[in-house]
Amino acid sequence: MATNESLFKTCLDRQDDAAWAAALDRLMPAIHPVDQRAVRIWFSFFPLKLHRAVVGADDPARTEIDLALRGRYRLADQVDSSHRFLYGHRFWPGVKLEVNKYLRDAAPDDRPLEDHLREAARRAAETLKTETELVTAITAVAFMTFQQAGAEIFSRPAEARDYTAKWRKSPSQIIAERARDDSQGLFGFLRSVDQVYTVTFREYESDASFRIVNAQDLCTAAANDKRDYRSQDERCIEGPIPVECRTSACGTCWVGILSETSKLDPPTTREVRKMKEFGYAGFTGTPDSPIRLACQTFAHGNASIVIPPWNGRIGRLDE
């Protein structure tokens, strides 16, 4: 007899990226603002269409070449770490346990996906003695991880690691920090060209940032960070952001934007056209898009970004 877990898997497998995006839209008011952009970014980094293209491929190596995939694109390989930029990451071991329990115990029915997410988040919050809005985004992440990684991998206990030590700030502190700009000194208001700001690329680490001059693009600024990133990620040849063309031709430099986008120039017509070609989910083409090309993103203040673990040209899947 089929278990609840396998029935859930069957139900989830009927969903596609559009269905997930619609469920997330409906869920958004229940998610704390600290994770509203973060969860959209996470779902953009791990689209079902890529998972299905790779898992369902007769020749995965060929698919990797056809889609020009580089980096770590399989969610199953990073189940406990893919979401480190979400505030809810600190609750991951408990949320993972609760979602596993929910998938085993609750009967899958014809309720909308977001109703299951809400109920599982409520149960997790109760167990973890926290607010439901703080675990709703990470609960949605858990369901998608179950869908892509499968029951066997998802049911393993969370890796032993410290989920909170490096990021003890409250949600409101994090939101305030994302909005803050570096002081430009007493007469900073007289300067415009040589104002210098900070781009943070891993909020949960203390030294994961680089400096950016007013109106500079993120890739050029990142290239001035001469620390060794290549030994951790072979795509990083100049600074922490993987880069190739610098002209929006390759799609290598896509990033998520956690902070206020009012301090960034909006996407140009070319960026909009090229992003459609690359097929990165989550890019809206609007000024507040959570996904951008770093080489086309010019900053006029501090920014907080997330660097995806992979890049490719998955727009080919839509052709």
d(CA 222, CA 240): 6
d(CA 248, CA 295): 7
Quick one: which of 48, 141, 243, 314 contacts ligand FES (CB under 6 A)? Answer: 243
Q: Which amino acid is at 17?
A: D
How many C-beta neighbours within 10 Å does residue 164 have? 10
d(CA 196, CA 300): 9
Q: How far is the CB of 210 from ligand FES (least distance, A)?
A: 16
Q: How far is the CB of 283 from ligand FES (least distance, A)?
A: 12
Instruction: Report if residue 245 touches ligand FES, rule: CB under 6 A.
Output: yes
Instruction: Report if residue 314 touches ligand FES, rule: CB under 6 A.
Output: no
Q: How far is the CB of 287 from ligand FES (least distance, A)?
A: 19
Quick one: which of 38, 257, 295, 306 contacts ligand FES (CB under 6 A)? Answer: 295
Which CB atom, from 23 or from 253, has the smaller least distance to ligand FES?
A: 253
Instruction: Report if residue 293 touches ligand FES, rule: CB under 6 A.
Output: yes
Candidates 34-42, 130-138, 189-197, 241-249 — which segment interacts with ligand FES by CB under 6 A?
241-249
Residues 261, 307 contacting (CB under 8 angstroms): no
Q: How far is the CB of 298 from ligand FES (least distance, A)?
A: 13
One character per residue 200-219, x = contact with ligand FES (rule: CB under 6 A): -------------------x
Strands (E), the chain: 70-71, 196-200, 209-213, 254-257, 291-293, 303-306, 310-311
Looking at the chain, how many residues does it have? 319
Instruction: Report if residue 291 touches ligand FES, rule: CB under 6 A.
Output: no
Which CB atom, from 120 or from 293, has the smaller least distance to ligand FES?
A: 293
Q: How far is the CB of 241 from ligand FES (least distance, A)?
A: 8
Instruction: Report if residue 237 touches ligand FES, rule: CB under 6 A.
Output: no
CA distances 227 to 129, 198, 236, 302, Å, are 40, 16, 11, 20
Q: How far is the CB of 140 from ligand FES (least distance, A)?
A: 29
Determine the size of the site formed for ligand FES (CB under 6 A): 13
Instruction: Report if residue 115 touches ligand FES, rule: CB under 6 A.
Output: no
Cα three-residue angle 26-30-35, rounded to 5 degrees: 100
d(CA 179, CA 304): 9
Instruction: Report if residue 265 touches ligand FES, rule: CB under 6 A.
Output: no
How many C-beta neighbours within 10 Å does residue 232 have? 9
d(CA 161, CA 150): 22
- Residues near ligand FES (CB under 6 A): 219, 243-246, 248-253, 293, 295
